[in-house]
Amino acid sequence: MNCAEILNSIIAAECNQKATAGLENDILLINYNDIDRDTSVVANGVISSLVLKLVDPSANSQVRKNAYSFTSFGKSYNETGVTLNVGTYMNTWTHSVSLRIFNKDQEIKDFVNKLGAGARLVVIVKNKEFGKNGDVRYEVYGWENGLTIAEGTGVVEMTDGLVYGLKVASEEGAQEPDVQKSVFATGGITATESMINGLTAKA
The single-letter DSSP state of residue 32 is G
- Residue 178, pLDDT score: 97
Sheet holding 164-169, edge to edge: 81-85, 92-101, 164-169, 148-154
- Residue 62, pLDDT score: 85
- Residue 58, pLDDT score: 84
Read off the pLDDT of residues 173-186 as tens digits, 9 standing for 90 and up.
999 999 999 999 99
pTM, rounded to two decimals: 0.90
Q: Which residue has the higher pLDDT, 2 or 152?
A: 152
Residue 53 to residue 144: CA distance in whole angstroms:
16
The letter for the amino acid at 195 is: M
Q: How many CA atoms lie within 13 A of 162 on its CB side?
A: 15
Read off the pLDDT of residues 9-56 as tens digits, 9 standing for 90 and up.
655 556 766 777 889 999 999 999 999 999 999 999 999 999 999 998
Read off the pLDDT of residues 93-115 as tens digits, 9 standing for 90 and up.
999 999 999 999 999 999 999 99
- Report, as an integer, the average pLDDT of 142-166: 93
